[in-house]
Amino acid sequence: MILVTGGAGFIGANFVLDWLGESDEPIVNLDKLTYAGNLANLGQLKGDARHIFVHGDIGDRALVEKALATHRPRAIVNFAAESHVDRSIHGPAPFIETNVVGTFSLLEQTRSFYTALAPSEQASFRFVHVSTDEVYGSLGPDDRPFSEATAYAPNSPYAASKAAADHLARAYVHTYGLPVLTTNCSNNYGPRQFPEKLIPLMIHNALAGKALPVYGDGSNVRDWLYVGDHCAAIRTVLERGRPGETYNIGGKAERTNVDVVRTLCRILTELKPGRDYASQITFVRDRPGHDRRYAIDAGKITRELAWKPRESFESGLARTVRWYLENTTWLAGVTSGDYLKWTELNYPVEATS
């Protein structure tokens, strides 16, 4: 059995579904169910005895201690995090509480559990800490992609909180011998992503006939990683990674934001014709401290663990659009009044061009 934290969120839910689609090993899924944690993501597992859901916070030490003592997992995969830059700009406190204090609490409870294991159980136990490329800061147009040796230089409260969590994870390896492995991934996209992030937001607005808001001039560059490829990489790290190591996970798909939106519009035109989606693109005021470029060098995980992404950006995006077109009820269910208020706050109606 393994314990997954944040397993009702976007990446976590996809990981849980993929895991149980390929294995009969049970999962204990601990999730706080904030706005982005959605049990509807896991609806197909209703009644499945392999999926044990625990509602709670990684910062609740008594709850985590009980879950570890009851289920005795052989591994922990930590997805639990506040994860959106824009929200961290408007309200950084929850990011510090969950990403820093929560991760510290989870590491402490895991250390206590690990220390009491038999030597043979300790030898096979793993803790995978899932992080982001944003901890590395911003790249210039001609800079080499981020590697595992790149110095940390976070530029947003979100990135700073994840950087702090990464440093704690590293410290628990070197100070306490806890077998932690850290992964730093590029921008994920795919099914079940809450529509505050770029791609699901654009799909939602395009289908609704609304403006497709693109920050600044749209030239900010990100490396895009299909969520299924990310989940496969995490399984690989869990199975074959070396404790104490960091593995960068990228999709080999650098794109400007505006190119992402234009590609999405072309796919929508093919799959759901009848509207000029590209005409809905609107440039809006840039967000504060917006990093210009992220790019991941995933050479280490490819060389050492033989992982590489299966999806190209175009194939992964087409799969993503199809999923949203086939799951409009899910999309309607997560676009609540709170979401609409958030959209108004982060994407003001006035256009810059």
For 244-266, the pLDDT digits (tens) are 999 999 999 999 999 999 999 99
How far, in Å, CA of 66 to CA of 57, rounded? 13
pLDDT of 60 over the 80 cut = yes
List, in sequence order, every residue forming a beta bridge with 189; answer none if it has no partner.
Answer: 226
Nearest to residue 293, comparing CAs of 171, 160, 187, 175?
187
**H or E element at residue 283:** strand 281-284
Distance of alpha carbon 236 from alpha carbon 213, whole angstroms = 36
Percentage of residues in the chain with pLDDT exceeding 70? 95
Write out pLDDT tens, residues 178-228: 999 999 999 999 999 988 889 999 999 999 999 999 999 999 999 999 999
Instruction: Give the residue among 310, 290, 172 at the shortest CA–CA distance from 231.
Output: 310
Q: Which helix (H) or strand (E) holds 164?
A: helix 157-176
Residues 190, 224 contacting (CB under 8 angstroms): no
Does the pLDDT at position 352 exceed 80? no
**Predicted pLDDT at 4:** 98
Q: How far is CA 294 from the centre of its chain?
A: 15
Structure tokens at 125: 């136990």
Q: What is the pLDDT of residues 281-291, one digit of tens each?
A: 999 999 888 88
Residues tagged active-site: 133-134, 158
The reply to whether the predicted model has a pTM over 0.75 is yes
Which helix H or strand E contains 130, and what residues bound it? strand 126-132
CATH hierarchy code of domain 2-192+226-252+290-313: 3.40.50.720
pLDDT of 180 reads: 98
Give the residue carrying structure tokens 């049990």. Answer: 39
* Least confidently predicted of 53-62, 87-96, 110-119: 87-96
In degrees, rounded to 5, the angle at the alpha carbon of residue 330 between the alpha carbons of residues 132 and 347 is 55
Alpha helices (H) along 91-138: 93-95, 103-115, 119-124
Tell me, what's the pLDDT at 150?
A: 98
The residues, ordered by sequence, that sit 6+ positions from 147 with a Cβ below 8 Å of its Cβ are 248, 297, 299, 300
pLDDT for 338 equals 58
User: Region 309-338: what's the mean pLDDT?
Assistant: 90
The dihedral built from the CA positions of residue 64, 67, 71 and 76, taken in this order, carries a sign that is negative
What per-residue confidence (pLDDT) applies to 233? 98
pLDDT higher than 80, residue 346: no
Q: What is the mean pLDDT of residues 167-182?
A: 98
Mean pLDDT, rounded, of the chain: 93
Q: Angle at the Cα of 330 (from 327 to 332), degrees rounded to 5? A: 110
Alpha carbons 79 and 34: distance in angstroms, whole number: 13
CB-based contacts of 53, cutoff 8 Å, min separation 6: 8, 29, 31, 39, 42
Read off the DSSP letter of residue 99. Answer: I
Task: Name, in order, each residue with C-beta under 8 angstroms of 132's C-beta and a sequence gap of 6 or more.
Answer: 83, 159, 162, 184, 185
